[in-house]
A = this chain, B = another copy of it.
């Protein structure tokens, strides 16, 4: 991300392993020409794609379908000044293939508040980046502050 800022860059597999540990991330997209951010629960598909489940009528599904989005998750310890942050950047699309939808109904994320008609949104893991944030005075000399 910012290679000269003193963070430890994480490898793709390490990023995906960390992402799999947390239930909630934040989808970043554009809304009315302004940046928009929304926390959502998610799961990872076998290939590292980020999967969301939302109401078919939701504005989010319409807003991100067919666009490039970023999906971020992190864990930060504000006392130790340590943690990690991972960002998946890629095309987002509502899953329209009936077989794929059926598969995700069995194996994909569950909506925290089920609605009558749900859709899955898939974010392709085209770019997976991450950084480790180890305490400011640690052995590594890396830190959270940008």
Q: Chain B residues with Cβ under 8 A from A1's Cβ?
A: 31, 36, 38
Interface flag for A69 (CB, 8 Å): yes
- Knowing A34-B89, A87-B37 touch, does A78 contact B113 (C-beta < 8 A)? no
Interface flag for A5 (CB, 8 Å): yes
Q: How many copies does the complex hold?
A: 2
Which residues 1-54 of A have a CB within 8 angstroms of B? Answer: 1-2, 4-6, 23-24, 26-31, 34-41, 52-54
Interface flag for A66 (CB, 8 Å): no
Flag if A143 contacts B4 (CB, 8 Å): no
Q: Can you list 5 A-B contacts (CB < 8 A)? A: A1-B38, A6-B113, A34-B89, A35-B35, A111-B136
